[in-house]
């Protein structure tokens, strides 16, 4: 979508076979000496964050399903396990998919 990367390298200057730059030829693409990949530690931190966010989302979904079971309400609010605010939800009558959203950013649509 952009003509150059964050390092100011113009993509057209490092394209090969029509694909954007890659640091080495083990992948299809051009070679760029400024190409950077995250360290193993950075990748581990990213994975930890994704797992933590996923666990919060699963917990929130369980809260919603339990709330629906207890109240019969197909839409409403439960306490957000991420921030303690209001996590709004609605469940589709046709397929049971849940939409949820909180002001803290926690949310999903199935």
How far is 72 from 93, CA to CA, in rounded Å? 12
What per-residue confidence (pLDDT) applies to 32? Answer: 74
Residues contacting 97, CB < 8 A, separation 6+: 91, 109, 110
What per-residue confidence (pLDDT) applies to 89? Answer: 98
Domain assignment of residue 101, yes or no: yes
- Split into its structural domains, the chain has a count of 2
Judge whether 79 and 63 are in contact, CB under 8 Å.
yes
Judge whether 99 and 89 are in contact, CB under 8 Å.
yes
Domain assignment of residue 1, yes or no: no
pLDDT of residue 12 exceeding 80: no
How far is 50 from 52, CA to CA, in rounded Å? 5
Least confident of 3-12, 30-39, 68-77, 86-95: 30-39
Query: In this structure, are 18 and 46 located in the same domain?
Result: no
DSSP state of 23: S
| Average pLDDT rounded to a whole number, residues 43-58 | 96
- The whole-model pTM stands at 0.69
Query: In this structure, are 34 and 44 located in the same domain?
Result: no
How far is 39 from 47, CA to CA, in rounded Å? 12
Domain assignment of residue 2, yes or no: no
Structural domain range at position 23: 9-38
Query: In this structure, are 66 and 53 located in the same domain?
Result: yes
């Amino acid at each position: 979508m952009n003509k150059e990367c964050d390092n100011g390298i113009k993509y057209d200057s490092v394209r090969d076979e029509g694909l954007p730059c890659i640091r080495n030829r083990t992948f299809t693409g051009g070679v760029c000496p400024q190409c950077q990949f995250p360290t193993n530690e950075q990748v581990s931190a990213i994975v930890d964050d994704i797992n933590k966010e996923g666990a919060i989302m699963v917990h929130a979904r369980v809260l919603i399903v339990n709330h629906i079971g207890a109240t019969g309400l197909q839409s409403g609010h439960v306490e957000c396990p991420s921030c303690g605010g209001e996590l709004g939800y609605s469940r589709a009558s046709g397929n049971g998919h849940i939409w949820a959203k909180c002001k803290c950013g926690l949310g999903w649509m199935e």
